[in-house]
Structure 1
Amino acid sequence: MGEQKVSIVDTIILAIVSFTLITISIILNISLVFAFIGAVIFTSIILLRKGYGIGTLINIMFEGIKGCRSVFIIIILMGATISTWLSSGVVPSIIYYGFNYVKGYNFVVVAFIFTLMMSYVMGTAVGTISTVGIAMLAIGKGLMIPTPVLLGAVISGAFIADKIAPISSLNNLTLEITGTDYIDYVKSASKTLIPTIALSAIIYYIFGNVYKGGGDMGKVYEYQKLINSSMVVSPYLLLFPLLVIVLAFLGIKASYNMTIGVICTSVVTVLVQKVNILTLVKSILWGYKSGTGMVELDSLVSGGGIVQMLEVVLIIMGSVALSSLFENGNLLKPLIDGLFKEKDSRFSLIAKTSLLSCLLTAATCDQTVGIIIPVKVALEKFEKRNIDKSILARTVADTGTIVAPLMPWNVNAVIIYSIIGVSAIQYAPFAVLCFLNPIVMLTGEFISFSRLKTTSESVA
């Protein structure tokens, strides 16, 4: 039996079932692994009934998962990186010295801007959150700033990487598939990004003023004393984050950069912190356990571990398998065919491309699909209307790419939860830049469209 056409009804049913399973998992606090397994099985059944062979479907999922193997390696390395940055004293040193310099400052704004700059250089949002972000959150905890508020600021700054960092894999994917030069893209993206950053900074300044000076400095001093007495703290340990930044700036692949970082901080853990190799290996596998003697502080400077990240890898495998079935099974085609019209105006085309990018990022739990498919669908339409390719690149980066961490079921949100222990439901209202960016971009386009329309009517 040949493959039959998938209808819009099939697509809607699959979307409803998938979202229902994911929602139930989140509400009942059940691993998303089971939700994705259920969604993959249900989708496979629909495609089997449409004439797809079981071997074909398995191959589609296998190829999709194989194509993401570098992502899995980075996630595993992330678990090891967090452990060794903690055990070597790198993160505790950042926290220790950070307390000395943030007193009296609006730390919410400081965390946003500092994370933004670091992520632009490092080229990875989750990599920035798992290193610098952890230190920012620990400092904020000492200053009595609610974790969801500060995490929202950190995420806003960190996801600049996926949108515009020169060595970001997602940014380079966007440039490659749209055929856009980086400099041209930066010029175009700056028109929406700079106002978004400015508005976000103002909002974080307001948030930060609420908590400025509200910290218990006695607790801060106690934190510093316990950190200093439990391990070696030195400004020289701050050279390791600098090393990571330099390597990223030189264009070293994230996986190689993280491996070098793990090796170097492991050596420091053994030679400087006097931790035996067996204990080091255990912390890399199962996570670092701090022993300052203060439960609250130990919870801040403990974590990581490869084993903890294995569930994240399984969740991502499930989301990749599901998105591969959706894409290669033509399950998205009915939605796409019904969305775009020949008479779409410039604003309508950009708005619909934005909507499609967001929907695909939401449906497949992955930013990659939210970039590739909208560009493939809209590129020819943009060219027919003489709309520059850099605007298409900006459109998907301002929407599907940047909104990803706001969705609790998204791969990025799952990784953040596994690292920080705070869900997207808690931090999303404070991840201001991530939801402001699409609004700023579409508002700007609407204003331009309205002015052009008014001018045309006046001439007529």
Structure 2
Amino acid sequence: MENKEVKKREIRDPYMWEIVVILAILIVVLSFSLLVLGVEAHIPFVVVIALTSLMAIRMGHTWADLEKKILDSIASIFQAVIILMMVGMVIGSWIQGGIVPSLIYYGLELINPNIFLVTIFVVMSICSVATGSSWTIVGTLGVAAMGIGEGLGIPAPITAGAAVGAGYFGDKFSPLSDTPNLHCAICRVNLFDNFKNILKTTIPMYIVAVILTAIVGMRYSASDRVSMESIETITTTLDETFVISPLLILPVLMVVAMIVFKIPAIPGIFLMALVGALCGVFVQGADLGSVITSIHTGYVGNTGVESVDSLLTRGGLSSMLGTASLIFCAISYGGVLEATGTLRILIGKILGIVKKDGSLIFTTIVSSIILNMIAVDNYVTAVITGNMFRKAYIQRGLHPLNLSKCLAESAAITSPLIPWNTCGIVMFGMIGVSAAEYLPYAFMCWVPPIMLTIFGYLNIGIIRLTPEEQKALLEEDA
């Protein structure tokens, strides 16, 4: 009797048809929920976890084992979630303190109608890094750029491509964005180490994108009838609402200092929030209560100008709770998926054709793009790709920072290029141009994956593990 019970509980690897079913559950549930029902990914993820768990139990796993795997997975990313919520505090305090408004103000002042396409690309890039939100920047400055571009006679897809590419530059790179925080949580790497690593290759990618944008923009010049009223409205409103000063841009250097001096992320981000709070009280003249409220629930713009209020109403610790809960759901799913052995088997088949480090990077990028097509959400793509490839990178002696860079340069920025992806849908709703039309001109979205693949084969910007680091990471995962 006892032997029968042991045999009944024997754990086996999934059959190929079971792997197909597991992946089909993910694709069908998330696609239907996001595209048809138009709901957030949280509850659909819970449904996917439940159905995948049933498949795991069918393979011999017990719920107790799966629950432990889920809790262990969540525990591994707690630090990243704390950092994510503290980033929300920084956003609220930096807007209240006039730091973000000053960055936006001086950025918009740089816009030159004679070289409009390049200046709008650079300015929106600066503003997207300052706010950490691609959707906010495209929905405000991007919409304004579309109107100005139309007056200049620039075809809408060209302006849209520059705006979308610039917006997603900040989304993948800004310390105020939740996307790099998610990538760091998945890959289990330090936030500031991640920025330092991405910076090495992002600069040449950005230069190439600027050059291509300039080449396209040379065909168009300013018209006397062009109106810059929408831009002037924003800058005037910011100047009337906040104390705008070049000195308020200096706190941005704190991010550089933390990278250079290797200050731990949590105390470093706390200092950033504190500086923003001090600027709010002593520079902007806000009372302490409103500053604390902005740090907790986010800054709320009340200028009466919709474009400005939309630009500034964000941030706060509580604003990150939705993303944090999505991370918990996604990581829990990753834990169940790992327990079934699905990822191990898939990776084994994929890595069978991978012979070089460059091939692994290329495979990671292609997998991210394909998943962006079938999972229709860049967060889901990042979670699945990160979980699939992390161990493969470590086994080849490559630091997980290489993987987080791949996620930034593929999962994050290719999502708005896919018309049926949630990001592509949102971009179309904001600027009225489909992803298929602006794709050729969104250089900042498709140049980086190509250049990163080339860098991988040329062994440029690759961080390697020491034997001791590799052993420690493999033991940690085990």
Same fold (TM over 0.5): yes
Match for residue 457 of structure 1? Answer: none
Distance (whole Å) between structure 2 residues aligned to residue 13 and residue 325 of structure 1:
14
Give per-residue Cα distances to partners, 1:376-416, cap 9 Å, x unaligned: 44787x7xxxxxx77x98985775452111348xxxx9999
Distance (whole Å) between structure 2 residues aligned to residue 172 and residue 42 of structure 1:
24
Residue among 155, 159, 166 paired with 2:168: 155
Match for residue 228 of structure 2? Answer: 217
- CA shift, 1:15, in A, is 0.9
Change (3 A) 1:134 1:94: farther
Match for residue 285 of structure 1? Answer: 296
Q: Secondary structure at the match of 2:342?
A: coil
- CA shift, 1:38, in A, is 0.7
Match for residue 67 of structure 2? Answer: 58
Match for residue 335 of structure 2? Answer: 324
Q: How many residues were matched structurally?
A: 416
Distance (whole Å) between structure 2 residues aligned to residue 224 and residue 342 of structure 1:
54
* 1:394-433 matched pairs, under 5 angstroms: 399-405=406-412, 406-407=414-415, 429=439, 432-433=443-444
Match for residue 265 of structure 1? Answer: 276
Residue among 19, 23, 32 paired with 1:11: 19
Q: Tell me whether 1:201 sits opposite 2:214 in the alignment.
A: no
Is the CA contact 1:95–1:139 (under 8 Å) kept in the aligned structure 2? no
Give per-residue Cα distances to partners, 1:310-343, cap 9 Å, x unaligned: 1111111111111122123211233234345479
Give the letter for the 2:81 counterpart: F
Residue among 353, 371, 380 paired with 1:365: 380
Match for residue 47 of structure 2? Answer: 38
The more displaced of 336-345 and 300-309 is: 336-345
- CA shift, 1:201, in A, is 2.7
Is the CA contact 1:11–1:332 (under 8 Å) kept in the aligned structure 2? no
Q: Secondary structure at the match of 2:87?
A: helix
Match for residue 86 of structure 2? Answer: 77
Q: Secondary structure at the match of 1:236?
A: helix
The more displaced of 269-278 and 61-70 is: 269-278
Task: Please give the root-mean-square deviation of Cα atoms over the aligned residues, in Å.
Answer: 4.9
* 1:326-345 matched pairs, under 5 angstroms: 326-341=337-352
Give the letter for the 2:86 counterpart: L
Is the CA contact 1:111–1:136 (under 8 Å) kept in the aligned structure 2? no
Match for residue 243 of structure 2? Answer: 232
TM-score, structure 1 as length reference: 0.71
Change (3 A) 1:90 1:197: closer
Give the letter for the 1:278 counterpart: G
Is the CA contact 1:366–1:404 (under 8 Å) kept in the aligned structure 2? yes
Give per-residue Cα distances to partners, 1:15-55, cap 9 Å, x unaligned: 11111121122222211101110111111111111111111
Change (3 A) 1:241 1:32: same
Match for residue 450 of structure 1? Answer: none
Gaps of 5+ in 2: 1-8, 150-158, 190-195, 459-478
Q: Tell me whether 1:130 sits opposite 2:132 in the alignment.
A: yes
Match for residue 312 of structure 1? Answer: 323
- CA shift, 1:199, in A, is 4.5
Give the letter for the 2:22 counterpart: L
Change (3 A) 1:21 1:86: same
Is the CA contact 1:76–1:310 (under 8 Å) kept in the aligned structure 2? yes
Distance (whole Å) between structure 1 residues aligned to residue 99 and residue 254 of structure 2:
12
Distance (whole Å) between structure 2 residues aligned to residue 169 and residue 29 of structure 1:
22
Give the letter for the 1:4 counterpart: R
Match for residue 86 of structure 1? Answer: 95
Gaps of 5+ in 1: 120-125, 177-182, 383-388, 448-460
Is the CA contact 1:142–1:216 (under 8 Å) kept in the aligned structure 2? no
Change (3 A) 1:128 1:223: closer
TM-score, structure 2 as length reference: 0.69
Distance (whole Å) between structure 1 residues aligned to residue 405 and residue 295 of structure 2:
36
Give per-residue Cα distances to partners, 1:74-93, cap 9 Å, x unaligned: 22122222211111111112
- CA shift, 1:226, in A, is 2.4
Match for residue 180 of structure 1? Answer: none
Distance (whole Å) between structure 1 residues aligned to residue 424 and residue 101 of structure 2:
20
Residue among 18, 26, 29 paired with 1:21: 29
Give the letter for the 2:265 counterpart: A
Distance (whole Å) between structure 1 residues aligned to residue 279 and residue 95 of structure 2:
11
Match for residue 103 of structure 1? Answer: 112
Is the CA contact 1:26–1:32 (under 8 Å) kept in the aligned structure 2? yes
Q: Secondary structure at the match of 1:307?
A: helix
Change (3 A) 1:159 1:206: farther
Change (3 A) 1:278 1:234: same
Residue among 283, 291, 300 paired with 2:311: 300
Give per-residue Cα distances to partners, 1:284-319, cap 9 Å, x unaligned: 233212232322322222222222221111111111
Distance (whole Å) between structure 2 residues aligned to residue 51 and residue 268 of structure 1:
58
Change (3 A) 1:135 1:41: closer
